Amino acid sequence: MTDKPDEKAAGKAADESDDKTDANESARPSEERNLEAAKDETGTGSAVEQPAPEQSPENVPAPTGEVRAVGARHGMFGVSGTGDTSGYGGLVSATVFPAPSQKPYGGWFDEVAGALEARLEATDLTAAVESVVVHRGEITFHVRREDLPFVAQMLRDDEALRFEFCSGVSGVHYPDDTGRELHAVYHLTSMTHNRRIRLEVAAPDSDPHVPSLVSVYPTLDWHERETYDMFGLVFDGHPALTRVLMPDDWPGHPQRKDYPLGGIPVEYKGGSIPPPDQRRSYN
């Protein structure tokens, strides 16, 4: 977007300096000329010898600021140990999630974030909101897990916030997000102000506990049971945290990324279709 004018400006500046040299200072050695031209250009920041690099998507560097990189992707086809000599097998690309946003967030996001901040300051809990991510027109508050019930209660009851409706909780397992493997994501709606926000809390695999929000939003009863069922996230304070979809005696939590998947035996020379995560696939 902004790179094209830059390139043009750099090109134009180079043309100008060329014109100058042609007209007046053709006797001076070319090295000196270039040096001076470079000096002239310090204002715009792009050197004459090195035109701005081409800014196609694959050349754009990672966004600045704190980047939440979660794991890396290796190769292209999800297989290793084959005779692939294309070089694509050695490809490593980081998984980068949208970085936290800085104020102003834009629109009503600032009103909500401001009201939330003011209320948290009044109660000495400024650290409760770890970061705010605005991405694709949706705002996400990353909340420290021990403060979740307080923050939720305030979001529900405060007059400026009034997030009286909770759509439910959804678990996400990021096995490579060390120390924050299990995420619980809540979608809240303010019917009064017609707004939607998202709360996200993280818990480590070694201590998969998140405070329950059933006392604030009774609708989360089954949702928290489902998230426990599927991810093993324990919601402390839930009235009866049992499995809801899987059978009571089911071992493991099926939607975790490390849950073993089954293959399918086929009746042909003892063969079998490998589990989906071991099949050849693009990643």
Question: Rounded CA gap, 7 and 46, in Å?
Answer: 9
Q: Is residue 260 a contact point for another protein (CB under 8 A)?
A: no
To the nearest 5 percent, what fractions of the chain are helix, strand and coil? 30, 20, 50
Q: Of 61, 65, 81, 247, which one interacts with another protein (CB under 8 A)?
A: 247
Count of Cβ atoms closer than 10 Å to residue 218 Cβ: 10
Q: Is residue 258 a contact point for another protein (CB under 8 A)?
A: no
Q: Is residue 222 a contact point for another protein (CB under 8 A)?
A: yes
Q: Of 112, 152, 154, 166, which one interacts with another protein (CB under 8 A)?
A: 166
168 vs 204, beta carbon nearer another protein = 168
33 vs 68, beta carbon nearer another protein = 68
Contacts of 219 (CB under 8 A, 6+ apart): 166, 168
Contact 158, 115 (CB under 8 A): yes
Q: Tell me which stretch binds another protein (CB under 8 A): 8-16, 66-74, 84-92, 105-113.
A: 66-74
- Tell me the two tokens of residue 180: 């924050």
CB of 248 to another protein, least distance (A): 7
Binding mask 88-127 for another protein (x = CB under 8 A): -----x-xxxx-----------------------------
Q: Is the previous residue joined to 175 through a cis bond, with omega within 30 degrees of 0?
A: no
Contact 187, 155 (CB under 8 A): no
DSSP 197-265: EEEEEEE-TTS-EEE--TTT-TTHHHHHHHHHHHH--EEET-TT---SSS-TT--S-TTSTTSPPP-EE
Angle among Cα 112, 115, 120 to the nearest 5 degrees reads: 120
Q: Is residue 198 a contact point for another protein (CB under 8 A)?
A: yes
Binding mask 10-49 for another protein (x = CB under 8 A): ----------------------------------------
Residues that bind another protein (CB under 8 A): 70-71, 73, 93, 95-98, 135-138, 140, 164-168, 170-173, 185, 187, 191, 194, 196, 198, 217-223, 226, 230, 243-249, 254-255, 261, 276-277, 281-283
